[in-house]
Structure 1
């Protein structure tokens, strides 16, 4: 059993008191509703029969059945309200701990290998979290309520018509076991297919609107629009099939329940003919069966909900290793102050790809200098930087650092993340720096004039709905962060992308003066930014 699945049931067991109370109140609500319909039917029919005779009407006890009906109404109302409070409280208690464990598990996942920035991956994860958190509320409670109600229904029927119990056993088993299994089989697979198709539809729509101007310019808008319409039509067809499958199972469920009503009517009339049963009790048993149908219909999807939640926890658990990957880089102490990086027979392949991105790479970076990776896209520049930073771990070979430590390695990624917070917060990243140091680093990357124009300058809020830097400004913000960290080994992935050439040269000139005694490894397509004494690395 996956670790997250075991953890979910451990948390549920810890909240067993509240969870059991919720289940009890849900059962009371269901039984009170069924009994209310049955007793009301008996009371109405008995009152009607008593009214046919003056003596019977005078001797009929109207108060006790009326009190029972009112009591059942109060019990149903109280049970429904209390069940909502208890089951939701139990759910919130479980998921408050489960989310902490779940996101702790997700934090061990290597997102550089399998990122979550695609719509399909992120939407699948969000959907899985939703299904996992609803396991108790949408699966366990309605399923157990259906089972308990069916058992108590059989016990009630046995009191009045014991011979009817065996006849009802098969249709009840069909409603409680076979139809939920059929619902699971008919609905689950179309739902998964629908999710994939909707994700592709979203990707097609995003691509269409992102490249609208280019598509119009090259007269490719119509084919792309047709493709989007086709993907939408396919998703609609799958959704229709899933809906038809649900309806077919519900129709079958109603047919089985109709058969139960006919069986009760048949045996009830036989009991009435033989004097075994009164007419009012026949009517009561019919209404009792009708009342059970709502519970059986609600519970028919519980097995599918349980399977969705269980598989969701399995998928989330598979995203993450049982333990974090160990750092395979080696750090050697050296009497020489010169930093060196030796790469020997390095190999790395992403899990989702068949071919290796880096294969049998051997090179050496000796001394404090600037090293440029200028290979074309797709040849492993970013991957090598991730390996040097320890964000990826090689499957073969080794990376040996001399005269430095892991905490002295800093990296500026290709995609700079903007945090919802002030400019100061985005620069400091939970570290403490003086205002003078922040303004100096902003001047180095030529963001000082931009920051001065903000309403509250360093305390101005950045992010959606506030001040949103452009792509080039965001790149320079990432450079400013790296400068503040003051590391000995600096890894820069496309640091000048989105920045004009003249400004890039000015910023790099300042950085050369500041980082003259550092090891700087840059991945870039702009080889014209290299200085005469820089070294070029080829993968």
Structure 2
């Protein structure tokens, strides 16, 4: 457990200097730069593949039309070189196929390398955030996060590559047109600018604007469906099923309408883009026929330019969504950055996650008895107007046991979470003396039972001997229960296996705590579900076993306090 410590200073947390947090956009491109060799190779192969495909279409068109024209006369048929164009066509086919295969390997490899680093760093940072203050397990927050990660990961593959390929293909297309029809540039340049610049921008606007509203509507639809199935029996008993079902249908209908409107808007943009491409072909045909009539252009070359235009337009249409994908990924990275408080080193090579609150200093453990001192700490949950803990001060020192007393909802569990670092106080400081972060351990109210053996549930990936496990179970009176298990410590527990009662789960949690051997122990409702006599016996044993330690208990049953225990009131 991580603890909040302030060794020598007594300053307010809000007075700490703010941590400068670079955006995840910089981190993404830093990771991409680390894979620049693979990424550049993939970019070049994607470009070569696209250009080879366009050239294959154009050369094939020229070859077919030139062959047909040569076959009109016997002399032309004998003099025409069929082998060189055929070899070029086969060569372009091989280049396109090989390039496509290599491009898939390199671009996906670069993407997966970036994703693996980004995901591990991102989720590592998210895991250290205080989600009790801003819960991530709500459907709206978690689904938005997963959606944003999907968009962010596709920046290189779905935005940078098609955008770069489109721009380079258009430049090469213009260069080719200038060779055969230089006077036509004044006609086709405005059309190309509209299709390459304006259309992607309009497509971006039609993609970004409805994204948030559509996500909110789908989240509302999911929440309504979840509520309906969770409370189905109650809704039927109180004849409210029809009303809730109608609400669910309304939510689904509204989301479908938004999605259809968005899809139609994007289809209109693509239709306009196709129309502009058709106009571009007509311009090429018109100017090409004029050049053909005066002998400036051959018929086969005109057919080649038409097919070249068609091939380039296919690349342009594929790259129209590149700007939208970049906008989605960029916005997603900015939203994720708000969920992932982090600091990145100057060279942006090492991702260091950091809490959004004050910097913590861990006191050096000493032989002195452990103690906790808090000075005027206050805490308010974001969704509440008033503070649950206000200006609380005090000192808790070993070897005493302290029982936190306060009515329900007055901050007993909140105080334990503040001590363990799961929450940060808005004001005040918490000093932990004579212990480090690894020597403070919490037994929560809800004890989770993992699907695995009893040994696994006790050890939690830490090495413990069978003797230590048996001793901890004996102290909490689970030794008799252990002897009844068919496979002893290797008996499987959890869903689909042997289950425990509420009191047995609590005692299993105490056994886990005993195995930690920490100097400061926090117990949240440890005796709930355990009968009074057994609870008294277990606590008496723990008094002896934990002699010299600092024990802080949150419990509604103050009758379990011993004469040596002390009450700590939260006003």
TM superposition score normalised by structure 1: 0.88
- The match for 2:468 is 437
Q: Which segments of 5 or more consecutive residues in structure 2 lack a partner in the other structure?
A: 1-20, 344-353
Per the TM alignment, residue 215 of structure 1 is displaced from its structure 2 partner at its CA by 2.7
Q: Is the 8 A contact 1:340 1:365 kept in 2?
A: yes
The alpha-carbon deviation at position 505 of structure 1 amounts to 5.8
Residue 538 of structure 2 is matched in structure 1 by 510
Counterpart of 1:285 (choices 281, 305, 314) is 305
Q: Which position in structure 1 is the counterpart of 2:119?
A: 99
The structural deviation recorded for 1:57 is: 1.9
Partner-residue secondary structure (3-state), 2:341: coil
Equivalent residue for 1:83, pick from 103, 112, 119: 103
1:385 is matched with: 416
Cα pair distance change 1:157/1:332, threshold 3 Å = closer
Is 1:27 aligned with 2:78? Answer: no
2:404 maps to 1:398: no
1:44 maps to which of 64, 67, 71:
64
Tell me the alpha carbon deviations over residues 116-153 of structure 1, each in whole angstroms, 9 at most, x when there is no partner: 22222222222222222221111111110111111111
- The alpha-carbon deviation at position 278 of structure 1 amounts to 1.4
CA distance in 1: counterparts of 2:202 and 2:452, whole angstroms: 51
Give SS of 1:294's match: helix
Structure 1 residues 422 and 245: alpha-carbon distance in aligned structure 2, compared to 1, 3 A threshold: farther
Is 1:309 aligned to residue 329 of structure 2?
yes
Higher deviation after alignment, 282-291 or 420-429? 420-429
Cα drift, residue 295 of structure 1: 1.0
Q: Which residue of 1 aligns with 2:346?
A: none
Tell me what 1:259 maps to: 279
Does the aligned pair in 1 maintain the 2:477–2:538 contact within 8 Å?
A: no
Residues 390, 108 of structure 1: CA spacing in aligned structure 2 closer, same or farther, 3 A cutoff?
closer
**Mean Cα displacement is larger for which, 39-48 or 471-480?**
471-480
Corresponding position of 1:327: 360
Q: SS at the partner of 1:398?
A: strand
Contact 1:427–1:477 (CA<8 Å) still a contact in 2? yes
Aligned mates of 1:332, 1:62 — CA distance in 2 = 87
In structure 2, the residue corresponding to 1:371 is in which secondary structure?
A: strand
For the residues of structure 1 that align with 2:272 and 2:159, how far apart are their CA atoms? 21
**Aligned 8 A contact 2:403 2:552 in 1:** yes
Give the superposition deviation at 1:422.
4.0
Residue of 266, 270, 274 corresponding to 1:250: 270
Deviation per CA, 1:431-468: give whole Å up to 9, x if none.
32221322343355565566666664433555667667
Show the counterpart of 1:356.
387
Partner of 1:61: 81
CA distance in 1, matches of 2:202, 2:482: 62
- Residue segments in structure 1 that go unaligned for 5+ positions in a row: none
2:510 is aligned, of 479, 487, 495, to 479
Q: 1:430 to 1:189 in 2, by over 3 A?
A: same
Moved more, 174-183 or 427-436: 427-436
1:112 aligned onto 2:144: no
CA distance in 2: counterparts of 1:359 and 1:333, whole angstroms: 31
User: Measured at CA, do residues 489 and 287 of structure 1 come closer, stay the same or move farther in structure 2, by a change above 3 Å?
Assistant: same
Paired residues for 1:68-467 under 5 Å: 68-318=88-338, 319-322=340-343, 323-324=354-355, 325-327=358-360, 341-351=372-382, 354-362=385-393, 365=396, 368-377=400-409, 379-401=410-432, 406-419=437-450, 421-445=452-476, 456-460=487-491
In the TM superposition, residue 538 of structure 1 has moved relative to its aligned partner by 4.0
CA distance in 1, matches of 2:363, 2:240: 52
Residue range with higher mean Cα deviation, 354-363 or 478-487:
354-363
Q: 2:396–2:402: 8 Å Cα contact kept in structure 1?
A: no
What's the TM-score once normalised by structure 2's chain length? 0.84
- Of 10-19 and 469-478, deviating more is 469-478
State the number of aligned residues.
532
Q: CA offsets per residue over residues 377-430 of structure 1, 9 Å max, x none?
A: 3x4332211112222221212334566655442212344445565432332233
Deviations 1:197-235 (A, max 9, x none): 222222222222222233333333333222222222222
Residue among 480, 489, 514 paired with 2:520: 489
CA RMSD of aligned residues (A): 3.1
- Of residues 109-118 and 290-299 in structure 1, the stretch that sits farther from structure 2 once superposed is 109-118
User: How big is the shift at 1:167?
Assistant: 1.6
CA apart distance, 1:3: 4.1
Q: Which moved more, 1:430-439 or 1:418-427?
A: 418-427
Measure how far apart 1:341 and its partner are: 4.5
- Between 1 and 2, higher relative CO (CA 8 Å, sep ≥ 6) is seen in 2
Q: What's the CA shift string for 1:355-390, capped at 9, x where partnerless? A: 43322234555762341444233x433221111222
Aligned to 2:257, the other structure's residue is in SS state helix
CA distance in 1, matches of 2:266, 2:487: 57
SS at match of 2:335: helix
